[in-house]
Amino acid sequence: MSSKIIESYSDTCKRLNIKPTARHAVVSIEKQTLTLITESGETRTFTVSTSKNPPSCLQDSGGTPNGLHRIKTKIGENASLGEVFKSRVPQNRPYWEFSEEEQTSNLITTRILWLDGLEANKNKGDNCDSYQRYIYIHGTNHEDRIGRPASGGCVVLKNQEVIELFDLLCESDHVYISLS
């Protein structure tokens, strides 16, 4: 994890007059990683997939939004591995039970961490609101795409890893998404 990205997270919190959270995640769009930083300063890095479109905070762009976010809602605590969610509602079956046609798209699976932007007119507000755009951290039925840009704007992890991350983060913890 680059000290520059961690410094950028701290600087953004200061600029917004927001206290940094003891536990937080830092996503590097360039490196396709998410690093969890715990209260004790320990780190754990996961490989992710961000948007196949260029990063963007704009509505309907299909791009992963950058900047400071918080986890607004955690969904799927007791869902089984690979379980599909549609409109945040569990479908009570894993992705492999869906038709081949349904599986061509990037399904939302296993867990959802719904992000809320904290930077007005960047990732919060009219035409750029991460929460209203339904930007999540979630599992996928296309784990083979992890490590390269392939999502519709969300931050996507392998199913087992999104369970681990979900269990380690709490609502209100920060997620800082960096372009670098």
Beta bridge partners of 9: none
| pTM score, whole prediction | 0.97
Alpha carbon distance 152, 29 (integer Å): 13
Alpha carbon distance 161, 143 (integer Å): 11
**Average pLDDT across the chain, whole number:** 96
Which pLDDT score, from 0 to 100, does residue 32 have?
A: 98
CATH topology of domain 3-178: L,D-transpeptidase catalytic domain-like (2.40.440)
Beta bridge partners of 108: 85
Q: pLDDT tier at 12 (50, 70, 90 boundaries)?
A: very high
Which pLDDT score, from 0 to 100, does residue 1 have?
A: 59
pLDDT in tens, 50-67: 999 999 999 999 999 999
Alpha carbon distance 116, 100 (integer Å): 32
Share of the chain above pLDDT 70, in %: 99
Task: Give the ranges where the chain is alpha helix by DSSP (H).
Answer: 3-16, 100-103, 159-168
